Structure 1
Amino acid sequence: MKFSFISAAVAASVIWGASAGPLSETHAHSTVKAPVFDTDEALDTMHALSETIGPRETGTAKEKEAAEYISNRLRAQGAAVQVQTFQLKKYFSGSVTAGEHEFPLRSADQSAVEKELRIEGAIFDGGLGLRDDVTGAKGKIAVIREGKIPISQKIKHAEQAGANAVIIYNQATKPLAVRPHSGKGITIPAAGMKKEDGEALLREKQAVIQFKNYKNRTSQNIIGTRKAAQANPSDADIIYVTAHYDSVKGAPGADDNASGTSAVLEISKQFTHIPKDKEIRFILFGAEELWSAGSSYYVSTLTKDERKHSQANFNADMIATDWKEASQMCVTTPDGRENPSVRYAEKAAEQSRLVKPSLIQLGYSDHVSFYEAGIPSANWIWLSPDTHEPGPWYHTENDNMKHISKERLEKAGALVTGAVTEAVKE
């Protein structure tokens, strides 16, 4: 999962927080008549993806190997499987060097960076990126804090002030991903970095930014479909159960996001023989770590009729961390508002005597692609109730099976399963 505090289609700046009744984990038992989530098999799936296959960076042989593994699992369960390939025409990543330090840049604004670039300039403290904050940034690299106004607006202010480039760092420890700002008219190169690196960069006088082009990488979405059992399946509502299976470079991606992938595969298995008048699509997306490219591409291929019949999207991303502080089961939406997907989760929690998940605003993961298409969507994730952070293993080599909680996986899996069950019953 790639964290960000802004979606290109969300007008306001999206921040972790805006909690609606946070609740911590408890030890309740399920009584709802719903499929039973097989936690042990889910753990085996996570081990296969994160330890046997390993890091699954977009466009690599390992990502493709994971896609084949997932396809075979869905076929064995009896789902009709489609492998949807897509090409990333542009993808720029980079680094900034200052003094003796080199800091990674999580992503670059693809609408501004059209080729490999090397930008050298003085560091300018751009505050929060307000107009007055960036006065004097002409010819310099503006380093700006996340928060208060949308990221696209910060970049635009720096551009109008004459800055050569913009780096925006997070207010928390998570790396900040700057999504593409297509349609915003932005031409200045921009990228994101984490809090510690941003603060360290501000202590330097000069810096060199380098962007590398990874264009023309190919990825794939794996789609397992179970058609409705009614006379005219084309009239059935569609339920999407989704997760991403790629990881960032060098990270085994056990929690992010073999955990969500394992949940989708388990739910698919459990719904094999349940009579239904709904169509259920179990989708594992590639390239989520690159601006949710996989889910964005998939949603763009939906017909008008398919969108009309789209009932709900349930997305699982990082549902098994053992970080002690991440004790809050959250269901997130891009605007922080309740929708049918959230209500199904709340009903499932009530039916199964599980803790009602906390509704918060989160503007990045594959559920955003559905939201932007007008489809009710929600994401499941464990976070700290105090900081709303996912933990120290995120996007590192330590995101492995040693830092996985079976109990957290079981609770999240049961809740998502219950939510899908409620949607199917409606």
Structure 2
Amino acid sequence: MKYVFMSAALAASFIWGVPADLVKEKQIQSASVIESKFDADGAFETIHDLSETIGPRETGTDKEKEAAEYLSNRLRAEGVSVRIQPFELKNYFSGSITAGDHEFPIRSADDAAVKDEVKIDAPIYDGGYGLSRDLKGAEGRIAVIREGKIPVSQKIKHAEKANAAAVIIYNHKTKPLAIRPNKEKNITIPTAGMKKEDGEALLKEKQAVIQFKNYQHRISRNVIGTRKAKSSKHPDIIYVTAHYDSVQGAPGADDNASGTSAVLEMSKMFKNLPDNKEIRFILFGSEELWSAGSSYYVSKLTKDEIKQSQVNFNADMIATDWKEASQLFVTTPDGKTNQSIRYAVNAAEKQHIKKPSLIQLGYSDHVSFYEAGIASANWIWLSPETNEPGPWYHTSNDNMEHINKDRLKSAGELISASVSEAIQD
């Protein structure tokens, strides 16, 4: 999601199409560089520490900082060289909209319109798809608009021309639509995104109160753990990554303490690297804000580091218990296979287990590596019918009650086997 942001919509471009819930749990045998098999119990405890003991880890908060310290200590305990990479978020927008007795989360107010704090109390207006004719009666009202038909930027301009008080655009998927800060200076109307269910519920209300707040100059942190090559000055670099932050009010057990736990477990497993390989275990802050952490990290890589970069494996939401999310997907930003995918195929074949499915997914931290020309893929459980992550996504219900240890184990074993393929290549 970097500076040229990609769509969060999931394209149903199935390559393999095999349900990953049929994956048989087998001990990894082919990778001599692995010291032990994936410890699902240990990963489960890590998820508990992050989601229940520390709790919600919103960008730039003390809780996110506490989580970074916890993770750096865990990596050091495994003999990994660790450094913390702080970075500043000059403009960080957060907000909510209250209607009746319900508070809905919204995402990313527009930075051209919200400089500090804004509170808007106004009637709700059904803005259709944001066409000019849909917004004729929107003056002084909160225009609630559906995604689709025309670009988001045009919807915003049409609402502004109609003198709407604010714009809420809701996704056609469960995932909240992320309205990126608009760089056009002539846009002055506060804008934010919502997920499908919330947008539809909001349209049933008559009046609402929107509150936007600009948290300026927040500091977030990437936790970077490195196992260096023993003999090579210019080793191939393998990145094993996840984000550890969560959205406001969400414990973030699946999103994404689950992926974070897998990275920590792999830091234990890969202690016997070939002399010419380097592996970096990186836990990113601020993924929930346009993948800001991974974008910052990749932007600081040297030309030589990018040239040496072999592959990125990213884990995001690998332990949900939502019944419908019965398929483990390996995703790429363009929906095409790359070296990361090929390692996953080889690993599955050697383990005699079913291959996960490849689809296009344009959000999470693998996008930052992809945009730098580094082969990358993300691992996630989704519904094979709708390609959605489930009802507790980005809510207070993303907690330990909705973690499935069997899915955590299946995903962790296959990811670690894929990493082993890359290490031995």
Do they superpose with TM above 0.5?
yes
Deviates more, 1:175-184 or 1:219-228: 175-184
User: Any conservation in 2 of the 1:30–1:354 contact (CA below 8 Å)?
Assistant: no
Return closer, same or farther for 1:291/1:145 CA change in 2, 3 Å cut-off.
same
User: Any conservation in 1 of the 2:232–2:275 contact (CA below 8 Å)?
Assistant: no
User: Any conservation in 2 of the 1:54–1:62 contact (CA below 8 Å)?
Assistant: yes
Report deviation, 1:79.
Answer: 1.4
User: Any conservation in 1 of the 2:7–2:363 contact (CA below 8 Å)?
Assistant: no
Q: Which runs of 5+ in 2 are unaligned?
A: none
| Match of residue 94 from structure 1 | 95
| Match of residue 22 from structure 2 | 26
Return closer, same or farther for 1:223/1:276 CA change in 2, 3 Å cut-off.
same
Equivalence map 1:55-134=2 (5 Å): 55-98=56-99, 102-130=103-131, 133-134=134-135
Equivalence map 1:288-327=2 (5 Å): 288-327=287-326
SS at match of 1:228: coil
1:332-366 superposed Cα distances (whole Å, 9 cap, x missing partner): 12222222222222222222222211112222211
| Match of residue 410 from structure 2 | 411
Equivalence map 1:336-415=2 (5 Å): 336-415=335-414
Deviates more, 1:86-95 or 1:259-268: 86-95
Report the AA paired with residue 152 of structure 2.
I
| Match of residue 3 from structure 1 | none
Give the TM-score normalised by the residue count of structure 1.
0.89
Deviates more, 1:208-217 or 1:279-288: 208-217
CA distance in 2, matches of 1:13, 1:185: 25
1:44-75 superposed Cα distances (whole Å, 9 cap, x missing partner): 22222222222222222222221111111111
User: Any conservation in 1 of the 2:43–2:265 contact (CA below 8 Å)?
Assistant: yes
User: Any conservation in 2 of the 1:276–1:424 contact (CA below 8 Å)?
Assistant: no
User: Any conservation in 2 of the 1:241–1:282 contact (CA below 8 Å)?
Assistant: yes
Deviates more, 1:133-142 or 1:334-343: 133-142
Equivalence map 1:149-298=2 (5 Å): 149-159=150-160, 163-182=164-183, 186-232=187-233, 235-298=234-297
Report deviation, 1:311.
Answer: 1.9
SS at match of 1:238: strand
Return closer, same or farther for 1:160/1:414 CA change in 2, 3 Å cut-off.
farther
Return closer, same or farther for 1:218/1:155 CA change in 2, 3 Å cut-off.
same
1:152-182 superposed Cα distances (whole Å, 9 cap, x missing partner): 4543554466544321112233333323344
CA distance in 2, matches of 1:375, 1:242: 13
CA distance in 1, matches of 2:163, 2:249: 36
| Match of residue 328 from structure 2 | 329
| Match of residue 38 from structure 1 | 39
CA distance in 2, matches of 1:391, 1:409: 16
Report deviation, 1:77.
Answer: 1.4
Give the TM-score normalised by the residue count of structure 2.
0.89
CA distance in 2, matches of 1:196, 1:43: 30
Report deviation, 1:242.
Answer: 0.5
CA distance in 1, matches of 2:333, 2:153: 16
Return closer, same or farther for 1:155/1:337 CA change in 2, 3 Å cut-off.
farther
Q: What is the Cα-based RMSD across aligned positions, in Å? A: 2.6
CA distance in 2, matches of 1:381, 1:171: 20
Return closer, same or farther for 1:308/1:171 CA change in 2, 3 Å cut-off.
same
CA distance in 1, matches of 2:362, 2:120: 29
Return closer, same or farther for 1:413/1:11 CA change in 2, 3 Å cut-off.
closer
CA distance in 2, matches of 1:325, 1:296: 31
SS at match of 2:176: coil
- 2:4 pairs with 1:9: yes
User: Any conservation in 2 of the 1:156–1:186 contact (CA below 8 Å)?
Assistant: yes
Report deviation, 1:206.
Answer: 4.7
Report deviation, 1:129.
Answer: 3.5
Deviates more, 1:89-98 or 1:214-223: 89-98
Deviates more, 1:238-247 or 1:174-183: 174-183
CA distance in 2, matches of 1:336, 1:152: 25
User: Any conservation in 2 of the 1:56–1:247 contact (CA below 8 Å)?
Assistant: yes
CA distance in 2, matches of 1:31, 1:42: 17
SS at match of 2:222: strand
Report deviation, 1:115.
Answer: 2.4
Q: Which runs of 5+ in 1 are unaligned?
A: 1-5
SS at match of 2:10: coil
Percent sequence identity over aligned pairs: 68
Count of residue correspondences: 419
CA distance in 1, matches of 2:361, 2:173: 14
User: Any conservation in 2 of the 1:92–1:212 contact (CA below 8 Å)?
Assistant: yes
CA distance in 2, matches of 1:335, 1:134: 34
1:379-416 superposed Cα distances (whole Å, 9 cap, x missing partner): 11111111222122222332222221111111101111
SS at match of 1:224: strand
Report deviation, 1:116.
Answer: 1.7
Report the AA paired with residue 347 of structure 1.
N
User: Any conservation in 2 of the 1:96–1:105 contact (CA below 8 Å)?
Assistant: yes
Report the AA paired with residue 375 of structure 2.
P
